[in-house]
Amino acid sequence: MAKAKTNGIELEYETLGDPGDPALLLIMGLGAQLIDWPADFCTALAARGFHVIRFDNRDAGLSTQLDDLGAADLAAAYTGQSPYKLADFATDTAGLLDALGIDKAHVVGVSMGGMIAQQLVIDHPDRVLSLCSIMSTTGDRTVGASTPEAMAALSQPPATTRDEALANSLRSSKVIGSPAYPPTDEERRARAEAKYDRAYRPLGTGRQFAAILASPDRTEALHDVKVPTLVIHGEADPLVNVTGGRATAAAIPGAELIILPGMGHDLPAVLWPTIIDAIAANTAR
Protein backbone atom coordinates (compact mmCIF):
# COMPACT_ATOMS: atom_id res chain seq x y z
CA MET A 1 0.00 0.00 0.00
CA ALA A 2 1.04 3.61 -0.47
CA LYS A 3 0.00 7.17 0.34
CA ALA A 4 -0.97 9.96 -2.05
CA LYS A 5 -1.03 13.66 -1.19
CA THR A 6 -4.29 15.34 -2.20
CA ASN A 7 -6.32 18.35 -1.09
CA GLY A 8 -4.05 19.00 1.91
CA ILE A 9 -4.28 15.44 3.26
CA GLU A 10 -2.88 11.98 2.54
CA LEU A 11 -4.92 9.01 1.34
CA GLU A 12 -3.79 5.44 1.88
CA TYR A 13 -4.42 3.42 -1.27
CA GLU A 14 -3.74 0.12 -2.98
CA THR A 15 -3.89 -0.88 -6.64
CA LEU A 16 -4.49 -4.25 -8.25
CA GLY A 17 -4.23 -5.37 -11.85
CA ASP A 18 -2.52 -4.00 -14.95
CA PRO A 19 -1.97 -0.20 -14.84
CA GLY A 20 -2.51 -0.26 -18.60
CA ASP A 21 -6.12 -1.40 -18.14
CA PRO A 22 -8.98 1.07 -17.63
CA ALA A 23 -8.97 2.44 -14.07
CA LEU A 24 -11.78 1.31 -11.74
CA LEU A 25 -11.91 3.40 -8.57
CA LEU A 26 -13.67 1.88 -5.54
CA ILE A 27 -15.00 4.26 -2.86
CA MET A 28 -16.02 2.85 0.53
CA GLY A 29 -18.65 4.05 2.99
CA LEU A 30 -19.07 5.55 6.43
CA GLY A 31 -16.27 4.60 8.79
CA ALA A 32 -15.17 1.90 6.37
CA GLN A 33 -11.67 1.10 5.17
CA LEU A 34 -10.20 -0.07 1.90
CA ILE A 35 -10.15 -3.61 3.29
CA ASP A 36 -13.94 -3.48 3.43
CA TRP A 37 -13.67 -4.06 -0.32
CA PRO A 38 -13.03 -7.84 -0.11
CA ALA A 39 -9.72 -8.84 -1.68
CA ASP A 40 -11.32 -11.59 -3.76
CA PHE A 41 -13.95 -9.14 -5.05
CA CYS A 42 -11.17 -6.80 -6.18
CA THR A 43 -9.22 -9.67 -7.75
CA ALA A 44 -12.30 -10.69 -9.71
CA LEU A 45 -12.70 -7.14 -11.01
CA ALA A 46 -9.04 -7.01 -12.04
CA ALA A 47 -9.52 -10.32 -13.88
CA ARG A 48 -12.23 -8.61 -15.93
CA GLY A 49 -9.64 -6.19 -17.31
CA PHE A 50 -9.59 -3.31 -14.83
CA HIS A 51 -6.82 -1.52 -12.95
CA VAL A 52 -8.53 -1.56 -9.54
CA ILE A 53 -7.89 1.18 -6.97
CA ARG A 54 -9.20 1.02 -3.42
CA PHE A 55 -8.40 3.56 -0.71
CA ASP A 56 -9.20 4.89 2.75
CA ASN A 57 -11.29 8.06 2.81
CA ARG A 58 -10.16 10.96 4.98
CA ASP A 59 -10.76 10.29 8.69
CA ALA A 60 -10.79 6.52 8.15
CA GLY A 61 -8.30 3.70 8.02
CA LEU A 62 -4.71 4.84 7.54
CA SER A 63 -5.51 8.08 5.71
CA THR A 64 -5.17 11.47 7.40
CA GLN A 65 -7.07 11.71 10.68
CA LEU A 66 -8.54 15.14 11.33
CA ASP A 67 -8.82 14.90 15.11
CA ASP A 68 -7.86 18.56 15.45
CA LEU A 69 -11.40 19.29 14.24
CA GLY A 70 -12.85 17.80 17.41
CA ALA A 71 -15.89 15.59 17.85
CA ALA A 72 -18.77 15.89 15.40
CA ASP A 73 -21.59 18.31 16.18
CA LEU A 74 -24.57 16.50 14.67
CA ALA A 75 -27.05 19.20 15.65
CA ALA A 76 -25.02 21.72 13.64
CA ALA A 77 -24.69 19.23 10.78
CA TYR A 78 -28.47 19.07 10.40
CA THR A 79 -28.35 22.81 9.68
CA GLY A 80 -25.64 22.39 7.04
CA GLN A 81 -22.62 23.11 9.26
CA SER A 82 -19.69 20.67 9.40
CA PRO A 83 -15.88 20.93 9.13
CA TYR A 84 -16.00 19.23 5.73
CA LYS A 85 -18.68 17.90 3.40
CA LEU A 86 -19.12 15.31 0.67
CA ALA A 87 -17.72 17.79 -1.86
CA ASP A 88 -14.41 17.67 0.04
CA PHE A 89 -14.34 13.87 -0.26
CA ALA A 90 -14.96 14.27 -4.00
CA THR A 91 -12.05 16.70 -4.28
CA ASP A 92 -9.86 14.26 -2.31
CA THR A 93 -10.81 11.54 -4.76
CA ALA A 94 -10.09 13.61 -7.86
CA GLY A 95 -6.71 14.45 -6.32
CA LEU A 96 -5.99 10.75 -5.81
CA LEU A 97 -6.51 10.23 -9.54
CA ASP A 98 -4.12 13.13 -10.18
CA ALA A 99 -1.51 11.58 -7.91
CA LEU A 100 -1.81 8.29 -9.78
CA GLY A 101 -1.58 9.99 -13.17
CA ILE A 102 -5.08 8.84 -14.13
CA ASP A 103 -7.12 11.19 -16.29
CA LYS A 104 -10.46 9.37 -16.06
CA ALA A 105 -11.80 6.35 -14.19
CA HIS A 106 -14.84 4.15 -13.89
CA VAL A 107 -16.15 4.86 -10.38
CA VAL A 108 -17.98 2.51 -8.00
CA GLY A 109 -19.16 3.70 -4.59
CA VAL A 110 -20.88 1.90 -1.73
CA SER A 111 -23.18 3.69 0.76
CA MET A 112 -21.41 6.97 1.68
CA GLY A 113 -18.99 6.00 -1.08
CA GLY A 114 -21.92 6.11 -3.49
CA MET A 115 -22.67 9.63 -2.30
CA ILE A 116 -19.04 10.61 -2.87
CA ALA A 117 -19.11 9.01 -6.32
CA GLN A 118 -22.25 10.99 -7.16
CA GLN A 119 -20.60 14.20 -5.93
CA LEU A 120 -17.47 13.38 -7.92
CA VAL A 121 -19.38 13.12 -11.20
CA ILE A 122 -21.29 16.33 -10.35
CA ASP A 123 -18.20 18.38 -9.42
CA HIS A 124 -15.60 16.72 -11.67
CA PRO A 125 -17.56 15.24 -14.60
CA ASP A 126 -14.49 15.08 -16.82
CA ARG A 127 -12.85 12.57 -14.46
CA VAL A 128 -15.61 9.92 -14.54
CA LEU A 129 -16.09 7.38 -17.35
CA SER A 130 -19.00 5.54 -15.74
CA LEU A 131 -20.76 5.58 -12.38
CA CYS A 132 -22.02 2.75 -10.18
CA SER A 133 -23.83 3.73 -6.97
CA ILE A 134 -24.48 0.82 -4.60
CA MET A 135 -26.77 0.88 -1.52
CA SER A 136 -26.71 4.68 -1.52
CA THR A 137 -29.04 7.66 -1.87
CA THR A 138 -29.35 11.19 -3.21
CA GLY A 139 -29.26 13.33 -0.07
CA ASP A 140 -33.05 13.85 -0.19
CA ARG A 141 -34.08 13.14 3.39
CA THR A 142 -37.50 11.84 2.31
CA VAL A 143 -35.88 8.72 0.80
CA GLY A 144 -33.37 6.12 1.97
CA ALA A 145 -34.32 6.31 5.65
CA SER A 146 -32.86 3.86 8.16
CA THR A 147 -34.94 1.60 10.36
CA PRO A 148 -34.80 2.49 14.08
CA GLU A 149 -32.77 -0.67 14.71
CA ALA A 150 -30.23 0.17 12.02
CA MET A 151 -29.90 3.76 13.21
CA ALA A 152 -29.33 2.50 16.75
CA ALA A 153 -26.59 0.19 15.47
CA LEU A 154 -24.99 3.11 13.62
CA SER A 155 -25.18 5.36 16.68
CA GLN A 156 -23.51 3.15 19.28
CA PRO A 157 -21.14 5.03 21.62
CA PRO A 158 -17.44 4.55 20.80
CA ALA A 159 -15.98 1.43 22.35
CA THR A 160 -13.28 1.79 24.98
CA THR A 161 -11.75 -1.69 24.54
CA ARG A 162 -11.01 -4.05 21.66
CA ASP A 163 -13.50 -6.62 22.95
CA GLU A 164 -16.22 -4.00 23.18
CA ALA A 165 -15.47 -2.76 19.67
CA LEU A 166 -15.63 -6.28 18.26
CA ALA A 167 -18.92 -6.96 20.04
CA ASN A 168 -20.39 -3.73 18.67
CA SER A 169 -19.24 -4.60 15.15
CA LEU A 170 -20.72 -8.09 15.32
CA ARG A 171 -24.01 -6.71 16.60
CA SER A 172 -24.17 -4.04 13.89
CA SER A 173 -23.37 -6.45 11.07
CA LYS A 174 -26.22 -8.70 12.12
CA VAL A 175 -28.65 -5.76 12.12
CA ILE A 176 -27.71 -4.22 8.76
CA GLY A 177 -26.49 -7.29 6.85
CA SER A 178 -28.31 -9.31 4.20
CA PRO A 179 -31.03 -11.47 5.78
CA ALA A 180 -30.96 -13.93 2.87
CA TYR A 181 -27.17 -14.29 2.83
CA PRO A 182 -25.84 -14.14 6.41
CA PRO A 183 -22.14 -14.84 6.95
CA THR A 184 -21.06 -17.11 9.78
CA ASP A 185 -20.17 -15.64 13.15
CA GLU A 186 -16.56 -16.65 12.45
CA GLU A 187 -16.56 -14.67 9.23
CA ARG A 188 -18.09 -11.65 10.95
CA ARG A 189 -15.52 -11.79 13.73
CA ALA A 190 -12.59 -12.15 11.34
CA ARG A 191 -13.68 -9.02 9.46
CA ALA A 192 -14.23 -7.09 12.67
CA GLU A 193 -10.79 -8.06 14.01
CA ALA A 194 -9.06 -7.09 10.76
CA LYS A 195 -10.73 -3.69 10.74
CA TYR A 196 -10.09 -2.93 14.41
CA ASP A 197 -6.47 -4.07 14.33
CA ARG A 198 -5.74 -1.99 11.22
CA ALA A 199 -7.40 1.22 12.44
CA TYR A 200 -10.17 2.15 14.87
CA ARG A 201 -11.27 5.78 14.35
CA PRO A 202 -14.72 6.36 15.90
CA LEU A 203 -14.30 10.15 16.08
CA GLY A 204 -13.50 10.20 12.38
CA THR A 205 -16.63 8.18 11.66
CA GLY A 206 -18.65 10.80 13.55
CA ARG A 207 -17.17 13.60 11.44
CA GLN A 208 -17.90 11.65 8.26
CA PHE A 209 -21.52 11.23 9.37
CA ALA A 210 -21.73 14.97 10.02
CA ALA A 211 -20.46 15.55 6.46
CA ILE A 212 -23.31 13.43 5.09
CA LEU A 213 -25.91 15.30 7.14
CA ALA A 214 -24.53 18.74 6.25
CA SER A 215 -24.26 18.13 2.51
CA PRO A 216 -27.06 19.30 0.21
CA ASP A 217 -29.55 17.19 -1.71
CA ARG A 218 -27.92 16.11 -4.98
CA THR A 219 -31.14 15.27 -6.86
CA GLU A 220 -31.25 18.29 -9.16
CA ALA A 221 -27.54 18.14 -9.94
CA LEU A 222 -27.84 14.43 -10.79
CA HIS A 223 -30.23 15.33 -13.61
CA ASP A 224 -27.18 16.61 -15.51
CA VAL A 225 -25.10 13.42 -15.21
CA LYS A 226 -24.28 12.11 -18.68
CA VAL A 227 -22.06 9.09 -18.04
CA PRO A 228 -23.39 5.52 -18.10
CA THR A 229 -24.83 4.90 -14.65
CA LEU A 230 -25.75 1.77 -12.74
CA VAL A 231 -27.60 1.78 -9.43
CA ILE A 232 -27.60 -1.39 -7.30
CA HIS A 233 -29.57 -1.71 -4.08
CA GLY A 234 -30.63 -4.46 -1.73
CA GLU A 235 -34.36 -4.81 -1.37
CA ALA A 236 -33.86 -5.65 2.33
CA ASP A 237 -31.42 -2.82 3.17
CA PRO A 238 -32.32 -1.51 6.66
CA LEU A 239 -29.65 1.21 6.81
CA VAL A 240 -30.35 2.94 3.49
CA ASN A 241 -33.86 2.00 2.44
CA VAL A 242 -34.27 0.86 -1.17
CA THR A 243 -36.15 4.11 -1.88
CA GLY A 244 -32.72 5.77 -1.85
CA GLY A 245 -31.56 3.61 -4.74
CA ARG A 246 -34.79 4.10 -6.65
CA ALA A 247 -34.49 7.89 -6.23
CA THR A 248 -30.87 7.83 -7.42
CA ALA A 249 -31.78 5.93 -10.58
CA ALA A 250 -34.77 8.20 -11.22
CA ALA A 251 -32.58 11.31 -10.90
CA ILE A 252 -29.93 10.25 -13.45
CA PRO A 253 -30.98 10.11 -17.10
CA GLY A 254 -30.66 6.62 -18.57
CA ALA A 255 -29.55 5.01 -15.30
CA GLU A 256 -30.02 1.26 -14.97
CA LEU A 257 -31.50 0.07 -11.66
CA ILE A 258 -30.91 -3.40 -10.23
CA ILE A 259 -32.77 -4.35 -7.04
CA LEU A 260 -31.44 -7.50 -5.37
CA PRO A 261 -33.94 -9.41 -3.18
CA GLY A 262 -32.62 -10.52 0.19
CA MET A 263 -29.62 -8.17 0.09
CA GLY A 264 -29.10 -5.79 3.00
CA HIS A 265 -26.35 -3.24 3.60
CA ASP A 266 -23.36 -5.37 2.70
CA LEU A 267 -21.81 -7.24 -0.25
CA PRO A 268 -22.60 -10.96 0.16
CA ALA A 269 -20.10 -13.15 -1.68
CA VAL A 270 -22.87 -15.13 -3.37
CA LEU A 271 -23.95 -11.93 -5.16
CA TRP A 272 -20.47 -10.89 -6.35
CA PRO A 273 -20.83 -12.50 -9.81
CA THR A 274 -24.11 -10.63 -10.37
CA ILE A 275 -22.65 -7.33 -9.15
CA ILE A 276 -19.37 -7.69 -11.06
CA ASP A 277 -21.17 -8.64 -14.28
CA ALA A 278 -23.40 -5.57 -13.92
CA ILE A 279 -20.42 -3.26 -13.23
CA ALA A 280 -18.54 -4.59 -16.25
CA ALA A 281 -21.60 -4.22 -18.48
CA ASN A 282 -22.09 -0.63 -17.32
CA THR A 283 -18.48 0.29 -18.07
CA ALA A 284 -18.92 -1.15 -21.57
CA ARG A 285 -21.77 1.29 -22.19
The catalytic residues are: 111, 237, 265
Rounded to an integer, what is the distance from CA 279 to the centroid of its chain?
15
> What backbone torsions phi and psi does residue 132 show, to the nearest 5 degrees?
-130, 120
d(CA 249, CA 212): 19
Judged by phi (left if over 0) then psi (alpha if -120 to 50, else beta), residue 157 lies in beta
Q: What are the start-end ranges of the E strands in the chain?
A: 2-6, 9-16, 23-27, 51-55, 105-110, 128-134, 229-234, 256-260
State how far Cα 14 lies from the chain centre: 16
Integer CA distances (angstroms), 130 to 36, 50, 169, in order: 22, 13, 33
Question: What are the backbone angles phi and psi of residue 260, rounded to the nearest 5°?
Answer: -105, 110
- Number of neighbouring beta carbons within 10 Å of residue 19: 11
Strand 105-110 versus strand 23-27 pairing type: parallel
- Asked if residue 260 lies in contact with residue 235, where contact means CB atoms within 8 angstroms, the answer is yes
User: How many Å apart are CA 85 and CA 262, to the nearest integer?
Assistant: 32
The neighbouring-strand residues paired with 258 are 232
Report the largest interatomic distance among the alpha carbons of the chain, rounded to a whole angstrom: 48
